[in-house]
Amino acid sequence: MDDRLMDPRRLQMFVAVAESLSFTQGAKSLGLAQQPVSAQIARLERDLGAALFERNTRRVRLTESGRRLYADAREILGALDRARRNVVMASRGEIGSLAIGCGELAVDTLLPKLLRAFHERFPEVTVTLYEHHTSDQLDALRRDDIDVGFALLPAPADDIAAEVLSEDGFVVAVATPDRPRGRSAVPIAAFRDAGFIATPRYRSPGLDELKAEVFRDAGFEPRIVQLATNASTMLALVAAGIGVLLTPEPISRVAMDGVSFVPIATERRARLCMITRRESAPSAALANFCNVARELAGRTAAA
């Protein structure tokens, strides 16, 4: 079949006449003169070998072949319009999908507001969340399993870009009966004799090193009595009196019976970073997401 038969311009002319049942009105709706429209439809009929309209001096109406073509032409033109719209929206990052890695600190702080703000601006971008520790996020980024991650300051890497979005101090989670009196910050040395619950270093080496610096500043090494990888598990161990937990301040927003939080006097800060692949050009959707994250982090810092 000659490709010109399905020329979108021809089909637009045919549909315009079919909907108005008038060559004059159909041409007018397209901003064209009647003569070229009539000529194109006549050529379309010759190429197809079928009459599309019955014409007489009083009216124009579709033949059976015309009715069949009208249904197909509307579907073809609709598909072309959707394709054009999708191309434009994709170039602007207004449609697409994103896979996002996150740790517990991001979930407890920036991420809920970020997802809400991004969805309000780009409702047709699908977002899938994967909850990982820092090391898992880095591996997922390198495998292209996620597009962006939110992790505590990772170790420097040539292939990973890290932008600091927020900074938080530290608290120690303790069983409520053991909480020191008063509400002001205390030095970590106050817990020198306590047993600590910790996360395996490989899970979040950046946070592990930062916590080690807090202890080194106070001149002692913590006594680790239990390892765990999940925040709720660690807090349950605290509530059970197994040990205490040094952790970034946002975890204190997690309510758990039998657990209290003691602010720690330290200049050390846990930095939440947005991490991306350094060498890859981001999609328009990812660029939009990162920009919203930067804007929201800036507003949060200003506040």
Taking residues 5-32, what's their average pLDDT? 89
> Are residues 213 and 135 both part of a single domain?
no
pLDDT computed for residue 303 by the predictor: 40
CATH of the domain at 55: 1.10.10.10
pLDDT computed for residue 302 by the predictor: 44
Q: What is the pLDDT of residues 274-290, one digit of tens each?
A: 999 987 788 999 999 99
Amino acid 226 reads: Q
Domain boundary among 71, 91, 111: 91
pLDDT computed for residue 5 by the predictor: 60
- Of the pLDDT bands very low, low, confident and very high (cuts 50, 70, 90), residue 187 is very high
Domain boundary among 60, 91, 122: 91
Residue 191 structure tokens: 């817990």
Q: How far is CA 67 from the centre of its chain?
A: 45
Q: Are strands 170-175 and 259-263 parallel, antiparallel or unpaired?
A: antiparallel
> Are residues 218 and 280 both part of a single domain?
no
Taking residues 89-107, what's their average pLDDT? 88
Q: Are strands 148-152 and 245-248 parallel, antiparallel or unpaired?
A: unpaired
pLDDT computed for residue 56 by the predictor: 82
> Are residues 199 and 263 both part of a single domain?
yes
pLDDT computed for residue 3 by the predictor: 54
Residue 279 structure tokens: 């060498």
Q: Are strands 60-62 and 53-55 parallel, antiparallel or unpaired?
A: antiparallel
- Model confidence at 29: pLDDT above 70: yes
> Are residues 176 and 253 both part of a single domain?
yes
Owning domain of residue 238? 170-268
6-10, 49-53, 123-127: segment of lowest average pLDDT: 6-10
pLDDT computed for residue 72 by the predictor: 92
Taking residues 98-116, what's their average pLDDT? 88
> Are residues 162 and 277 both part of a single domain?
yes
What b/e sequence results for 220-254 when a residue is b if at least 16 CB atoms lie within 10 Å of its CB, and e otherwise? Answer: eebeeebebeebeebbbbbbeebbbbbbbbbbbeb
> Are residues 144 and 175 both part of a single domain?
no
Q: What is the pLDDT of residues 204-235, one digit of tens each?
A: 777 888 899 999 999 999 999 999 988 889 99
Taking residues 183-211, what's their average pLDDT? 87
Mean pLDDT for the chain overall = 88
Taking residues 115-134, what's their average pLDDT? 93
Taking residues 65-91, what's their average pLDDT? 91
Euclidean distance between CA atoms 257 and 261, whole angstroms: 12
- Model confidence at 24: pLDDT above 60: yes
- Model confidence at 300: pLDDT above 70: no
21-30, 84-93, 157-166, 200-209: segment of lowest average pLDDT: 200-209
Domain boundary among 91, 121, 143: 91
- Of the pLDDT bands very low, low, confident and very high (cuts 50, 70, 90), residue 2 is low
Residues in the chain: 303
> Are residues 55 and 125 both part of a single domain?
no
> Are residues 153 and 288 both part of a single domain?
yes
Q: Please report the DSSP string for the chain in residue order.
A: --GGGG-HHHHHHHHHHHHHT-HHHHHHHTT--HHHHHHHHHHHHHHHTS--EEE-SS-EEE-HHHHHHHHHHHHHHHHHHHHHHHHHHHHTTSSEEEEEEE-HHHHHTTHHHHHHHHHHH-TTEEEEEEE--HHHHHHHHHTTS-SEEEEE-PPP-TTEEEEEEEEE-EEEEEEGGGPPSSSS-B-GGGGTTSEEEE--GGG-HHHHHHHHHHHHHHT---EEEEE-S-HHHHHHHHHTTS-BEEEEGGGGGS--TTEEEEEB--S--EEEEEEEESSSPPPHHHHHHHHHHHHHHHHHHH-
Q: What is the pLDDT of residues 149-163, one digit of tens each?
A: 998 877 778 899 999
Burial of 274 (0-12, 13-18, 19+ CB in 10 A): buried
- The pair phi, psi for residue 275, each rounded to 5°, is -115, 135
> Are residues 106 and 154 both part of a single domain?
yes
> Are residues 68 and 195 both part of a single domain?
no
55 forms beta bridges with 60
Structural domain total, the chain: 3
